[in-house]
Structure 1
Amino acid sequence: MILCDIGNTYVHFYDKRKIWKNKPEAIDKKELHADIYYISVNPTNEQKLIAAHKNSYNIAKIIDFDTPYMGLGIDRKAACLGIDDGVIVDAGSAITIDVMCQGKHQGGYILPGLAGYGHIFEQISTALKLPINFATPLDTLPLDTQSAMSFGVLKSIILCIQDTIKDQKAYFTGGDGKFLSKFFPKSVYNEMLVFNGMQISIDQALKYHKEQK
């Protein structure tokens, strides 16, 4: 069995031995050695997976996550499933922040991903078509445009998340999760968060099926 999390930029896989990712248009079929159970936030990329491996099954219907949040993404549901208390930060194409307390979802919000900020700057002015410098110091005011952009991006994201975390434990995942987690002393980086939630859902569904026999 292979678990698969289909995002907007990458398709992530886990087969109990390793985690890997492919671009949707360049899925490595040689790695797909078993049935795939997936969740998806991107219908186009979902079809690309199915085209690459026909034995692929969407398990969104068995992701049982109770929340008052309308329209919560399936990947966010999966990431929250294994956390009873704390803040879950999934830093990918977008940065999503969700709060769990005693096993109940309190709500959450969405920020642009780090790469997304770069695209926003480009739309403002060609003079701002510069890469984000992730090594920009955050304890001194910038004296050049690239540093100023980078400072604004990183500081705004970090302060926003800090205001949510306060004294809670934070769990980071996603492509930029490891980088962002370094700014939060009480944080844990876990690239398995979404896959753990998927596995919990599969185990619960199998248990229910056995009990009904």
Structure 2
Amino acid sequence: MKLVADVGNTNTVFGIWNRGKILKNWRISTGRLETEDEMYVVLKQLLEAGNVDLKSIEDICVASVVPRLNSIFHYFGRKYLELDPVLVTAIDGIGVKWDVDFPSEIGADRVANVIGAHEFYGKDAIVIDTGTAITVDVLKDGAFIGGAILPGPMMAMRALFSKTAKLPEVDLFYVENHIGKNTEDNIRIGVVNGTYYALKAIISKVKEELGDKIPVIATGGNSPMFNIGNGFFDILDSDLTLKGIAVFCERVRKLEKNSAG
């Protein structure tokens, strides 16, 4: 079994990958992973609750957008499992081409999403990941050709809250009436509805360039918030990032084995 981790700015999602499937997953606050020992305590509790023996973990695979935690995963792997984690990056030789200006700048989560989309849904896709930030990743003919980054809904709302004296934090959801009658709905319409229409416009423009048949795959904790009515998501896969991390890991280990002879 593999332990896979999607390390975000706000939350970290751990998963167990075995025989081509994510068997279990857990979401925790990234702030709970400050040292390798804290990571051990957290993971031991999660795995025990899921009836998974920590010692049954044969590999560790991590996609992190928090660079300081990369070393923590390394220390954890060496200290508690005698394993060196695989860190997801945009490298050559893993089945996807990186047709952008600076592949080294692509976030690990985006690399994992593209790998996962390519492996499970084909060589053409638009991937929407709705986390702290929202990313749009475009896969065409097996190559990552670029995308877009937007503020996520919580980030946008907290920017309003922190930079103004009277605007409150509110529960976020799509509002059917686009003319708000109170401050809370005004914020929801601006943040959620506004983001919804921004995504809809971006997807429409991408399809104008690449063709209407390219599927739109959504992942991330806030995806249901934007799956309104008929929506514009063709596929909702909450495990896409974890699956992409696991596939990346398998391909890297195969490359390492081949290079070792």
TM norm. shorter chain > 0.5:
yes
Residue 107, structure 1, aligned to residue 146, structure 2: yes
**Identity between Structure 1 and Structure 2 (%):** 23
Partner of residue 40 from structure 1, selected from 52, 55, 64: 64
2 CA distance for matches of 1:45 and 1:178? 29
Check conservation: 1:171, 1:187, Cα contact below 8 A. yes
Match of 2:238 in 1: 191
Check conservation: 2:62, 2:86, Cα contact below 8 A. yes
Q: In the TM superposition, what are the counterparts of 1:1-213 in structure 2 within 5 Å?
A: 1-16=2-17, 17-26=23-32, 27=39, 28-30=42-44, 31=47, 33=54, 34=57, 35-49=59-73, 54=79, 55=83, 57-61=85-89, 63-64=91-92, 65=96, 66-70=98-102, 71-81=105-115, 82-83=117-118, 84-137=123-176, 139-166=177-204, 167=212, 168-182=214-228, 184-212=231-259, 213=261
Match of 2:35 in 1: none
- Secondary structure of the equivalent of 2:85? strand
Deviations 1:129-173 (A, max 9, x none): 231431522x44111111111101122211111122233421111
Deviations 1:81-135 (A, max 9, x none): 2332121111111111111222222211111111101111113322112314315
After superposition, the CA RMSD in angstroms is 2.5
2 CA distance for matches of 1:74 and 1:38? 8
Gaps of 5+ in 1: none
Structure 1 letter corresponding to 2:29? K
1 CA distance for matches of 2:100 and 2:68? 28
Using the TM superposition, name which of 3-12 and 63-72 deviates more. Answer: 63-72
Using the TM superposition, name which of 43-52 and 178-187 deviates more. Answer: 43-52
For residues 15 and 112 of structure 1, do their structure 2 counterparts lie closer, same or farther at Cα, with a shift above 3 Å needed?
Answer: same
Check conservation: 2:178, 2:189, Cα contact below 8 A. no
Deviation at 1:75, TM superposition (A): 1.0
Check conservation: 1:38, 1:56, Cα contact below 8 A. no
Deviation at 1:193, TM superposition (A): 1.6
Structure 1 segments, 4+ long, off by >6 Å, are: none
Check conservation: 2:5, 2:62, Cα contact below 8 A. yes
Give the TM-score normalised by the residue count of structure 1. Answer: 0.86
Gaps of 5+ in 2: 18-22, 33-38, 48-52, 205-211
Using the TM superposition, name which of 187-196 and 177-186 deviates more. Answer: 177-186
Check conservation: 2:112, 2:241, Cα contact below 8 A. yes
Structure 2 letter corresponding to 1:178? P
Structure 1 letter corresponding to 2:10? T
Deviation at 1:186, TM superposition (A): 4.1
For residues 186 and 62 of structure 1, do their structure 2 counterparts lie closer, same or farther at Cα, with a shift above 3 Å needed?
Answer: closer
Check conservation: 1:91, 1:113, Cα contact below 8 A. yes
For residues 69 and 108 of structure 1, do their structure 2 counterparts lie closer, same or farther at Cα, with a shift above 3 Å needed?
Answer: farther
Equivalent residues, number: 212
Deviation at 1:61, TM superposition (A): 5.0
